[in-house]
Structure 1
Amino acid sequence: MHASSSRSSSTNTPSEASSSNGIEPLHTEVDAPSHAPSSGGLVLVATPIGNLGDFSPRGAEALARADLVLCEDTRMTARLLTDRGISVRTEALHEHNERQRVPNLIRRLSEGARIALVSDAGMPLLSDPGFRLTRAAIDAQIPVTVVPGPNAALTALVLSGLPPHPYLFVGFPPPRSAARKEAFAKLHAAERAGLSATLIWHEAPHRLAETLVDMASVFGADRPAVVARELTKRFEEVKRGTAEELATFYASTPPRGEITVLLGPAPEVETSADDLDTTLRTLLATHSVKDAAALAAAAAGLPKRTVYARALELAAEVKAP
């Protein structure tokens, strides 16, 4: 979830593992685990989102057996490696250097290197670097596997009390209000066209209150919302309410730490004939009659045949001289 520049490379030196979480240092003198490519390849490894005890034995093995660990920030990853007594070369791979580094990394992978990729916290690629490298490795037919683990968005979802199926993870919203409202408006338009899902974002603490204000203005002040903060850590907090209530609370109570914001699905509303026509005309501008009718029918909860018949009428009106 972090985006930061970091030291270019380092080698972590093992030390006595911390006993605060009750986990002993990793013993690496075992046969190669089945989840790691035996002749080189890329392994995507999930890391804890706050509690070191959540790091899996498979994840530790994958890092210990790698020729190289690519990190969002080598300093952050060094803490995890030290806690597990792992000594391995690390190099930085972040949003500022990934594009330039991919060709050389693909060459090393093609030559048989075993490379592990981690982010500072959670699953790699999700609001974190690594997609370009992973896509390039797949295109080059290099083995790619994953060691799953903690994920802030899913952890927040199951704690939220909001409907879990379906959900849409959006990542970080734009930092500026105008762009943020525009992004929210596109999602709200998708809801009017039939999308019904719990929406999930990450957000920075200093922007949370403003983001909630924008959410309330675009999606509605009474929209069910949840803010999950510092998940799996000592001061874990989950606040539930409406978008407006949470905006008011965090405007007077500045938050700290890692934050995930969730909005419940849009409430179902009855669609009048005029509203249906407006929706159909909007959709017909960019969709076929069949697709426009299907989307409008899903949004309005009306029979497809009925909506399709009306869509044909409106399409004919547009074509008429």
Structure 2
Amino acid sequence: MGSRGQNPPQWNQTTLVDFILLGFSDIPDLQGFLFGVFLIMYMIILMGNSLIITITKMDPSLQTPMYFFLGNFSSLEICYVSVTVPRLLIDLCSQSRNISFLACAAQMYFFLVFGATECLLLTSMAYDRYVAICNPLLYPLLMNSRLCIQLAAGCWVSGVPVHIVLTYQIFSLPFCGSNQLNHFFCDIPPVLKLACGDTLITETLVYVIAVLVVTVPFMLILGSYVRIIETILKLPSATGRAKAFSTCSSHLMVVALFFGSGLITYLRPKSSHSKGMDKFLSLFYTIVTPMFNPMIYCLRNKDVMVALRKFLLK
């Protein structure tokens, strides 16, 4: 990388060709144990979500918008978890934890795209519950299959261009110091820590996108749940209230888990970031929450339980 005319610093700086993912190397005695735990969790996520995808496709009683979105959500969970966990498992087994610049950028990009899709899908699911409970007579008309497909496609696609720009912006920063990423995957905060020079524009862009992709959907979900709860409380019978609430409770729990850990990680002030805490919180929304989602949806939902029994008896 020789000097070029008047601006050699830029050329001398971008000499890093790869990063080293430190992951959990600070606790060497626990590598085998962690490998076992994460492998079991990954298997549970794959099996649980595959079961949900299968029964929402095959069971005639689950051919409704709510389960159409749930099938999409389960497919997404498999993609989302597969961006980080297989790499983490490999790193726990091997001595070399190098990840190339390009692989790191690709991992960050897909992680962000699937994360954004998850926020938007959870918002679509909240809208579905809002229409079902607040406008039950118009529900078949409003939530027709065409709208459901358009909403789902919008969720899957809309994060793509935004995150191409963001990932490009982050990885076009000069990296010249240490190449040790104190994390188990290429997440934004640890990568930005290694950048040289001014990261203010990039950090501002991260905040703006976080507000658009995380905070706005979260506020929309909150708004729809305020209306849903108002409507449920006005229902005359206690059984009606319980039935209406049971169709939302699983979605509400998933929303609280996913958005809670995500918001704490990305939007808390920089001064309160501790490396161990960051890794722990990241584990929460990359592995723990996706593992609980199929359980929450199966155990808290009678229709899914009935369909599951039928499927397993076959």
Q: Where is the helix percentage greater, Structure 1 or Structure 2?
A: 2
TM beyond 0.5: no
Q: Where is the strand percentage greater, Structure 1 or Structure 2?
A: 1
Taking structure 1 as the reference length, the TM-score comes to: 0.22
Taking structure 2 as the reference length, the TM-score comes to: 0.23
